[in-house]
Amino acid sequence: MTDPRNASDIKGISGSLYDVNSSDPRSELVDRSALDPEDVHQITRLMNALSGLREKEKALADASEKYMKLSTQDMRALHFLIVANHRAEVVTPGMLGTHLEMSPASITKLLNRLEKGSHIIRQVHPVDRRAFSIEVTQETRASAMETVGRKHAKRFQAAARLSREERQVVINFLEDMARELALDDVDWTEGN
């Protein structure tokens, strides 16, 4: 059995910028001077747990795309439509285009493809008769809910197993990390 304190024995740790030697130039990226080695190890495990979660989410997304025979963009569109349906919201092509950050021409192609595959139905908008609304077909909705939806629902159970205080700690951590990753003060993203 490997010693969990030995970073090189932990899957995915080798090369981690959180657990580098102080003589490594990468160590300048993370100031660990005020941290105990056990704290550095625990933070490294936390970062690896986040990485593991992203890997599982990616594997689930890839498997669902393959099962549904759809692209990532198609799946994002269906997800948006299903959520809107749960909220009793009417979705127009423009709304979907804004959400997916796609041009009207690209949205038209996406909708044509989804309609041809019997994944969506276009109907006259219930209020603005000049426009139309988009809905997921019952078959596609049921398939998505029974596969991807059922798997994603298990995340709720993981959160439900935490106490209110533990959930608040996780919420605070994730919101803080999101703020730290925001691109608001980054000049190298300009023009991309």
Residues 77 and 131 in one domain: yes
What is the value of pTM for the model shown? Answer: 0.67
C-alpha R_g of the chain: 22
Question: How many of the other CB atoms lie within 10 Å of CB of 144?
Answer: 23
123 — phi, psi (to 5°)?
-135, 160
Q: Report the DSSP beta bridge partners of residue 42.
A: none
| Residue 77 belongs to a domain | yes
Domain encompassing residue 50: 1-68
Residues 3 and 64 in one domain: yes
Residues 81 and 112 in one domain: yes
Single out the residue of 137, 146, 156, 153 nearest to residue 78, CA to CA: 137
| Residue 191 belongs to a domain | no
Residues 76 and 29 in one domain: no
9/88: higher pLDDT: 88
Q: For residue 119, give the CATH number of its domain.
A: 1.10.10.10
Q: How many structural domains are present in the chain?
A: 2
Show the DSSP H helices in the chain as ranges: 37-68, 72-86, 93-100, 104-116, 138-144, 150-160, 164-181
Assigned token pair, 17: 């910028």
| Residue 167 belongs to a domain | no
Residues 4 and 45 in one domain: yes
Residues 42 and 103 in one domain: no
CA distance 143 to 65: 12
The residue from 47, 68, 89 where one domain ends is 68
- Rounded-to-10 torsion of CA 126, 128, 129, 132: -70
Residues 77 and 53 in one domain: no
| Residue 184 belongs to a domain | no
| Residue 58 belongs to a domain | yes
| Residue 172 belongs to a domain | no
Q: Report DSSP letters for 21-43, one per residue.
A: -TTSGGGGGS--TTS-HHHHHHH
Residue written as token pair 């629902």:
153
Residues 102 and 80 in one domain: yes
- pLDDT tens by residue, 69-114: 889 899 999 999 999 998 999 999 999 999 999 999 999 999 999 9
- pLDDT tens by residue, 142-182: 988 888 888 888 999 999 999 999 999 999 999 999 999 88
